[in-house]
Structure 1
């Protein structure tokens, strides 16, 4: 059905093999028969959590992100471990990063945030019935938790105070869910 668009791998391999990311460099054949290079990042995938407090506020994080040399406001998220169940990863990441657990979990959607150069995907989960606890941050991880009403979060997206794509998508999904227009999963 999509054969007229498909690119086919001819040869290639790993150009960089890091602890977290693997960069591949391949030669591919285009639909018109020409061969060109493609570089892309292999990523194990991740989860994003939309944690909603009982008062309706959204639990967020402030974290310094080195590649952009600044602190970002973002939703809790984390990388999948090898063969890890995605929901279990979401539960683990919420606890580790914020100290919270949740009594109700709903799958929302899967997003692909960098399709031009990575196979990374993120599964988004809605977490409700939050119970506060003590964060269990990983070594070298420094995170500040904050909360805000969804309206303030959406305003932060509008004004550019929130620019993280997973957080923006999460905010838009949550707006639709809370309005009753969309259902999780």
Structure 2
């Protein structure tokens, strides 16, 4: 392995450790469980000596954890019920929301059109006028080209006639 790969792996390991640390800090129930598993002192049997959890088995400790989780979930559901009951249901009205949304869009419509590069009906009308002008100009150019082509054909005929006439003159001069 190169030195760069080793450094990258070390950085990843450190990042994972930091993420786990912050996860444990932000979830108190996990911290409590971790504190129950990991002893407070260097001696694993110090709790027994100090009298902590003296007569409780691991089964009793697990039951306490479950009951704490249930109490926490019950208190959370009570909080949610209280929050939902505090909301005035008469204020929940789709038409009022629609009116507020319409008012907001009316106020910010110019900014929205600019930000999102939207086209308005006036923009479409301008484009239609420009298209009509372009179509008229193309029609005029086509008409002018046809006239030029027609006059060019006439010019060609006249030129050919003159060249033929000149050829006849040159032949008559050569023959003399």
Report the TM-score, using the length of structure 1 for normalisation: 0.19
Give the structure with the higher percent strand. 1
